[in-house]
Amino acid sequence: MNIALIAHDVKKEEMVNFVIAYKAVFEKHTVFATGTTGTKISEDADLHVYRLKSGPLGGDQQIGALVAQNEIDLVIFLRDPLIALAHEPDVTALLRLCDVQCVPVATNIATAEMLVKALDRGDLSWREVVHKYKSYKRSGTEG
């Protein structure tokens, strides 16, 4: 499964610690992350991460594009709800896309832990059906 990890500045350390705690789960999947978050996870957790741009420089939109194409199966976005950000519309758009595409998303560590444990148990395997259906549609054999 493809997992997107995003963390606002005050949440980056929390994200790194979370990934370290669940490294055995994350290693089984493909991980995408925005800018500095991806660098920190890669270096501190020693985990391969596909790094995109920094969130304010378009990284949130890059993740959103992957979500819109149903290329992302799970989003963990540790955000700081107490500060206003210049790129807040991008954050809102990303969360909306997750809802539209039925992509599970966590915006805090408690929900993130529940989703990662569900991922590890195989509770998100229904997302594989999404990918099979998408491949079926691309093959031109749809009715």
- What is the CATH number that goes with domain 2-138? 3.40.50.1380
pLDDT band at 15 (very low <50, low <70, confident <90, very high): very high
Q: Which of 18-27, 51-60, 78-87, 115-124 has the lowest mean pLDDT?
A: 78-87
Q: Return the pLDDT at 59.
A: 87
Q: Which amino acid is at 94?
A: L
| Contact status, residue 103 vs residue 69, Cβ threshold 8 Å | no
Q: Is the model's pTM score more than 0.75?
A: yes
Q: Which residues are the active-site residues?
A: 60
Higher pLDDT, 133 or 110: 110
- Structural domain boundaries in the chain: 2-138
Q: Return the pLDDT at 57.
A: 85
pLDDT band at 31 (very low <50, low <70, confident <90, very high): very high
Contact residues for 129 (Cβ-Cβ < 8 A; gap 6+) = none
48 phi, psi to nearest 5 deg: -70, 130
